[in-house]
Amino acid sequence: MKYIYDRRQTFGLSDKWVMAGASAGAHLAMLQAYKNTQTITPKAVVNFFGPVDMAALYNFYVSTDPGTAFLVSFLMGGTPASNASMYQSGSPIHFVSAQSPRL
């Protein structure tokens, strides 16, 4: 993304960006927009069913689908109780502020 952004004049692209994604792509778009704003700050983010709070996602699946809860814990390196910092840093909801792009 930084490669394209740095060459936006060459490619004839606008300075006004909107990031969008579905599922994991939406999760990454939100992390870029809300957490990793050093290079690109989009005007908006479009989230098609991407996880916003990884701890809430894990807790939902613990009671509804333990197999998926296991996969979330594997991805995050543990449960929210055992690896709270990973769940915090991997959840876009924790980086939203009044200056954040619209969702």
pLDDT digit string, tens, across residues 14-65: 888 899 999 999 999 999 999 987 778 888 999 999 999 999 999 999 999 9
In-domain check, residue 103: no
pLDDT at 39: 73
Give the total residue count for the chain.
103
In-domain check, residue 102: no
pLDDT at 89: 96
In-domain check, residue 90: yes
pLDDT at 41: 80
What is the residue range of 35's domain? 2-95
For residues 63 and 69, give the distance between their C-alpha atoms in angstroms, rounded to a whole number.
9
In-domain check, residue 49: yes
Main-chain phi, psi angles of 15, to 5 degrees: -80, -10
- Report pTM: 0.83
Beta-carbon contacts of residue 85 (< 8 Å; ≥ 6 apart): none
In-domain check, residue 100: no
| Number of domains the chain is built from | 1
In-domain check, residue 75: yes
Tokens of 92: 């876009």
Beta-carbon contacts of residue 102 (< 8 Å; ≥ 6 apart): 43, 44, 45
Is it the case that residue 103 has pLDDT exceeding 90?
no
